[in-house]
Homo-oligomer: A and B are copies of this chain.
Amino acid sequence: MARTKISDVAREAGVSLGTVSNAINHPERVRPDTLALVNEAIDRLGYLPNQTARLLAGGVNAVIGLVLPRLNHGCSLQIANGARNEAIRAGYDLIIMNTDDDQEVERRYLQFCVGMQLAGVLVQPSTYQVPRPLRSLPVPVVFLSAPDVPDGALSVSADYAAQGRLIAEHVLSRGATHIAVVGETSRPPLAQRLEGVRAVAAEHPEAHFEVINRGNRYGSSDGARLGAKLARRDPLTRPDAIIGLADAIAVGAVAGAQAAGCAVPDGIMVAGCDGNPLAWGGSVSLTTCSPAGYEIGRKGVQMLVAQINAEREAEAAEAAGVPSAAAAEAMRREWYPSALDYPGMAPAAQNAAAEAEIKNRHEFVRPFLLERASTMGADAAQKGAIGSIGAIPSIPELDVGSYL
């Protein structure tokens, strides 16, 4: 399996080595008939350029690396898809690496990215703290969903507190007066959602908020248990709304409440918080926030590309003898929030999502509301139901392709 190289092509085409290189990289510099000759030889020999050699000789690798701690969370998939689409749009390819929460593997992957001279890297650190060696990599980096980020680094995460606020305000607007907030808050995202809910609670002393700090992050059975328990209370102490600090918990709560003989949303409203499509399969479609992952991936790539360009500019400037003070400025100029193309979302919602808050160099993806049957009145629910079969309750469409 001795691979054919550029000199083979040159010989086959009867031209020199440099001409072949030009034909590949600068076709305009070569006469059309020579070009045809070369391309023919390339096809005939099935020549594929050795990327490592090109890179070593000074090429740039138009590839972005995405290092994720896991693949099997709804959010990871969204991030990967958002990043991929934006990367392709910007002329880059994206390669995805799954560390499976293994720090050693993470280290290897990052070394691979740097070693392969990738154009840039998006990293979602496996722990909630960015490990030391990751803090200065000789390659543009953007951190995703990492609350603790090195000084001056770029990052983009979901605005968890805003999710909590959004959902709390929504159930209040739907008439809730006694709201049970369910979820175990040892993990920052849930804790921040709870903070958002609490902020709303502080603004609404007339409503009663009850926090039940329990329920596994990824399981729905705790939610079911708690939902049933809450639904079985006597009417005086029973909440009229449940907020699950994660959608999986909320879905469980729906099932639990129903099993306890309490209709959703008529007997009790239920809402999630994190827009996790993997948890949307319940018998009543769930009101929740927009999934943040797609936007995180999309924005991450935008920031990364901006950084890559800025760096290129800075280097070019430096080469031209210009002081590199302007370099930082170039980056700031480069970065602009462009129009969204979130699939299947209303334009208004898109704009809402696009209004990103910029603090230092950390972007936050703002949520918008996905109002569905679990908090809708009977009238509104009608619209959410599947059309022609009257008797069927709203069944969430499992078109996995477009949701994730």
- State the A residues within 8 Å of B (CB): 1, 3, 46, 48-56, 63, 70-74, 77, 80-81, 84-85, 88, 93-98, 100, 102, 105, 108-109, 111-112, 114-117, 136, 138, 218-221, 224-225, 228, 248, 251-252, 255-256, 259-261, 278-283, 311, 315, 386, 388-389, 391-393, 395-401, 403-404
Copies of this chain in the oligomer? 2
When distances are taken between beta carbons in the complex, the residues of chain B under 8 Å from A278 are: 278, 398, 400, 404
Smallest Cβ distance from A132 to chain B, in angstroms? 11
Contact yes or no, B399 A218, CB < 8 A? yes
Partner of A138, one of B3, B111, B392: B3
Contact yes or no, A56 B48, CB < 8 A? no
Contact yes or no, A77 B73, CB < 8 A? no
Question: Which residue of B is nearest A403, CB measured?
Answer: B72
Smallest Cβ distance from A335 to chain B, in angstroms? 19
Smallest Cβ distance from A172 to chain B, in angstroms? 27
Contact yes or no, A93 B112, CB < 8 A? yes
Partner of A252, one of B85, B395, B401: B395
Given contacts A219-B397, A248-B398, A256-B392, 6 further A-B contacts (CB under 8 A): A51-B116, A73-B401, A225-B388, A225-B389, A259-B392, A259-B393
Give Cα distance in the complex from A392 to B252, angstroms.
Answer: 10
Give Cα distance in the complex from A49 to B397, angstroms.
Answer: 49
Smallest Cβ distance from A53 to chain B, in angstroms? 5
When distances are taken between beta carbons in the complex, the residues of chain B under 8 Å from A248 are: 398, 400
Contact yes or no, A93 B73, CB < 8 A? no
On whether A115 and B51 interact (CB within 8 A), knowing A96-B97, A220-B398, A404-B72, the answer reads yes
On whether A63 and B399 interact (CB within 8 A), knowing A100-B84, A281-B282, A392-B259, the answer reads no
On whether A98 and B96 interact (CB within 8 A), knowing A48-B138, A73-B400, the answer reads yes
Partner of A112, one of B63, B115, B225, B282: B63
Contact yes or no, B138 A1, CB < 8 A? yes
Smallest Cβ distance from A42 to chain B, in angstroms? 12
Contact yes or no, A105 B80, CB < 8 A? no
Question: Which residue of B is nearest A84, CB measured?
Answer: B98
Give Cα distance in the complex from A278 to B400, angstroms.
Answer: 7
Contact yes or no, A52 B93, CB < 8 A? no
Give Cα distance in the complex from A374 to B255, angstroms.
Answer: 17
Contact yes or no, B96 A392, CB < 8 A? no
Give Cα distance in the complex from A279 to B136, angstroms.
Answer: 42
Give Cα distance in the complex from A78 to B311, angstroms.
Answer: 38
On whether A71 and B80 interact (CB within 8 A), knowing A50-B115, A97-B94, A278-B400, the answer reads yes
Smallest Cβ distance from A356 to chain B, in angstroms? 24
Q: Which of A96, A228, A392 neighbours the largest number of chain B CB atoms within 10 Å of its CB?
A: A392
Partner of A392, one of B55, B70, B112, B224: B224
Give Cα distance in the complex from A117 to B44, angstroms.
Answer: 21
Contact yes or no, B117 A397, CB < 8 A? no
When distances are taken between beta carbons in the complex, the residues of chain B under 8 Å from A311 are: 1
Contact yes or no, B251 A281, CB < 8 A? yes
